[in-house]
Chains A and B, each alone.
Chain A
C-alpha cells in the first residue's frame, strides 16, 4: 500500500466541466440536480452503440491569449483560470509545482497526428504534453509531473502533490486531473460494452453501465504554515494500491481498494468512525458498485448504514482522470455548505448496494470525508479530506 500522512492544505479549486466552466456553477448544478449528459456533437458517434456523454459544448475564452488546439490542454487552462480567480500564485515560480493526472493524456492529438502533417502535432501526442502546457501558462518552473493511474489519476496526483510539499520540493502545488471525450476513448469503452444505453444509475438496482464525460479539475495546495486564508480544507491522508489481479477488471473482492482505504485512513490518523461522508467512485456498472459497497461495508462496519454516500457520475459522466479531483473538491464544498449532493439517476435500491444513497441533495454535516477511486490496470486510490464544517 502506498500512503502519505503529511496533510496538505487545499487553498482553492478551479474546474471546467459539462455542468459549468467554473466552480460555483459546477457546485450549484450538482446540488440542484442539473443533467450534464447529452448527445456528443464534437465527433462522429452514429456508428457506436452509445453516443451520449458529459460533453462540454462550448469553451470560453481564456483570461489571456488563446486556447491551444489540444483540447486537453485547453480544459486544463480553463480550470486554471477559474482557480486563479480565487487564489494568487507565489512570486517564485521555481517553487510552484504542477502535478496532473490523466487516463488518456493527449491521445486525441495522437489521433490527429496520424492524419496530419507537422512535428508539433506528433510531439503533442505524448501524454505529458498537457501538464507542461499548464505549467507554461502558470509560469511554473518547479517539478511538473504527469500521473497516469487510469481513472484513479486525479486522486494519485493530489497525493503526489502532497508528497512534494512534505518533501519541501515545492511551496505551492497545483494538482488535479483532466481527460477529454474523443473518438478513441468512446470507441474503446463502446467495444468493452461498458457504456449504458440508459441513464447512468450508480448503486441503483437497474444500473447497466457508465457514460463518459470530459473535465479538468485543479486544486491549489500548500503546507499548513504557508497556506493563505480562506481555505477549502485539508487533504489529511492518501493511499494507492495495486490489485495485481486483472488488466481491465477490478479485484472481485475489492482487496486492493480496501487496502487503499485503510491506508488513507491510517495516514490521516483517523479511524473509520470519523468518516462523515463517502464520495464513491460509483460508476454505475453492475460490478464496480457491488464491489465498492462490499468494501465500504467492511471498512465502515455497522456505520455503513448511517454514513451518506454519493456518486456524481450520474450527473456528468465518468470524467476519468478528472473524476477523483472533482469528487475531492465536491467533498470540501459539501463540508463548507453542509449539503451532500444527490446521486443523479438513483431511484431503486439494490440489496447488493445497501448504502445510504439518495437521489437528491440533503443537509448533512460532513467534516471528514472519504473519496474512493479505481482504474484500469488494477489501480486503486483513496483520499481522506477534512472540510471546514
Chain B
C-alpha cells in the first residue's frame, strides 16, 4: 500500500488542516467562491507565471516541509509527478479569450466581441487590451500542463508525468496513478499535486451552479508518496468515506484537491490507513493509503 510521507495544504482558509473552519458553508456566508491570495514567490522566472502555477509551486514546497525532505530528495527522474485539476486552467483561458475579443476591437473598430462578453460577464474585459494576455507569451499558460511544468522546472522533476482533469474522483485517480508508478518500481517518490482556482471564473461557476454546490473554496494541495508493501489499495468504486463527508463540511468544495485534504485530515487525526473517496459527475472512486 502506498504510504504518505507528507501533505502540503493551502486553502482559502489558510495553511494546513488547523486553518479549516468547522463549517465551511457557514464560514463562507453568502460567498459562492472563497478565493485565496497569490503566494509571494520571488524570482524572475515567475514573472509571467499564472496564479495557479504559483499555487502549485507553493503547495509542493509545503509538502516537502511536511515530509522533512529537501529539494534534492525529489529532483531527478526517480520522482513522478501526477497533477490533477478540474478548473485551474479557467482563469488563463478566460484571460486569453477576453484579450482576443479586445484585440478584435482594436483591429477592426467593432465592439461586438467585447459587448457580448460584457453582457454576460460585466467587467471581464476591463484592462484586457493593456494586459496583452492574448499574446504568444501567455498562450502556453492556457494549457493545464503549464502548472506541473512550472513545478517540474522549479524542483527539477524529470520522472513520470501524468496530468488528469476532473473533480474529486480524478483526485482519487491521481493517487492510483502515483501508486501504480511506485508499485511498478518506476519511481521512488511520487508527488500528487492538485490546484483549484475559481475566482476569475466565478460568474461562469454561478451560472453552472448545478455542477457543484457552494461554497467553492480555492485550494492547492500536494501529497508526497512512497511505495510500501503490496497490500490491496482497493482502487475502484465505493461509498462515501467519513473523510469525504468531513472534508466537504470543513473545507467546502475543493474539487480535485478534496482527496488530498482527506489525507491531511487523516494524518492529523492519527489514522494509520485512510480510505479516501471522491465524487464528480456522478462517479465516486476510492483508494486506501497508509498515512
A345 interface residue per 8 A CB criterion: no
The docked-state distance in angstroms from the alpha carbon of A167 to that of B176 is 10
Compute how far the CA of A49 lies from the CA of B33 in the bound complex, rounded to whole angstroms: 39
On chain A, the residues within 8 Å of B209 by CB distance are 119
Q: Among B5-13, B21-29, B90-98, B216-224, which stretch is in contact with chain A?
A: B90-98
Report the minimal beta-carbon distance from A215 to chain B, rounded to whole angstroms. 18
Q: Is residue B38 contacting chain A, with contact meaning CB distance below 8 A? A: no
User: By DSSP majority rule, is chain A's interface helix, strand, loop, or mixed?
Assistant: mixed
Q: In the complex, which residues 265-283 of chain B have their Cβ closer than 8 Å to any Cβ of chain A?
A: 281, 283
- Within the complex, the shortest CB–CB distance from B279 to chain A, in Å, comes to 12
B161's closest neighbor in chain A, by CB? A242
CA A116 to CA B235, docked complex, whole Å = 40
Judged by a CB distance under 8 angstroms, whether B160 is at the interface is yes
Q: Are B80 and A2 in contact (CB under 8 A)?
A: yes
A 203-241 binary contact with B (CB < 8 Å = 1; else 0): 000000000000000000000000000000000000111
Q: Which of A106-114, A284-292, A357-365 contacts B (4 or more CB under 8 A)?
A: A106-114
Give the interface centre of A122, A184, A245 by most chain B CB atoms within 10 Å: A122
B145 touches A127 (CB 8 A): no
Within residues 76 to 103 of chain A, which ones have a CB less than 8 A from any CB in chain B? 94, 102-103
Q: Which residues of B contact A120 (CB under 8 A)?
A: 208
Contacts of A107 in B (CB 8 A): 93, 142
Chain B residues in 8 Å Cβ range of A184:
93, 96-97, 100, 142
CA distance A163 to B233 in the complex (A): 14
Which of B87, B108, B161 has the most A CB atoms < 10 Å from its CB? B161
Among B113, B157, B158, B211, contact of A123 (Cβ-Cβ < 8 Å): B211
Do B145 and A377 touch across chains, with their CB atoms under 8 A apart? yes
Q: CA separation between A107 and B143, bound complex, in Å? A: 10
Smallest distance from the beta carbon of A158 to chain B beta carbons, Å?
12
Contact assessment for A247 and B150 in the assembled complex, using a CB-CB cutoff below 8 Å = yes
Question: Does A149 sit within 8 A of B, measured CB to CB?
Answer: yes
**A108-139 with Cβ < 8 A to chain B:** 110-111, 113-120, 122-123, 125-128, 132
B residues within 8 A CB of A4? 180, 184
| Contact, CB under 8 Å: B235 / A167 | yes
Q: Looking at A94, A115, A183, which has the most chain B CB atoms within 10 Å of its CB?
A: A115
Residue pair B143, A148 in contact (C-beta under 8 Å)? yes
**B148, closest chain A residue (CB):** A377
Of A2, A114, A148, A256, the contact of B165 (CB 8 Å cutoff): A148
B159 shortest CB reach to chain A, Å: 6
Partner of B204, one of A94, A113, A146: A113
* Among B59-67, B116-124, B244-252, the stretch in contact with A: B116-124
State whether A376 and B160 are in contact (beta carbons under 8 Å apart), knowing that A127-B144, A263-B186 are contacts in the complex.
Answer: no
Q: Tell me the bound Cα distance from A255 to B177 in angstroms.
A: 23
- Measured CA separation A113–B97 after assembly (Å): 10
Chain A residues positioned under 8 Å from B180 (CB to CB)? 4, 163, 166-167
**Segment 185-241 of B: residues with Cβ below 8 Å from A:** 186-187, 204-205, 207-211, 235-237
Docked CA distance A120–B208 (Å): 6
Can you add 20 more A-B contacts, CB < 8 Å, to A2-B161, A114-B98, A144-B166? A2-B186, A47-B104, A113-B204, A114-B117, A125-B90, A128-B170, A146-B170, A147-B164, A148-B143, A156-B163, A187-B100, A192-B140, A240-B161, A241-B160, A242-B148, A242-B157, A244-B156, A247-B141, A377-B146, A380-B161
Residues on B lying within 8 angstroms of A by beta carbon are 77, 80-81, 86-87, 89-90, 93-94, 96-98, 100-101, 104, 107-108, 113, 116-117, 119-121, 124, 134-136, 139-146, 148-150, 152-153, 155-166, 170, 173, 176-177, 180-181, 184, 186-187, 204-205, 207-211, 235-237, 281, 283, 285
Q: Which 6 A-B pairs have the closest CB atoms?
A: A2-B160, A377-B145, A188-B139, A377-B149, A248-B140, A115-B116
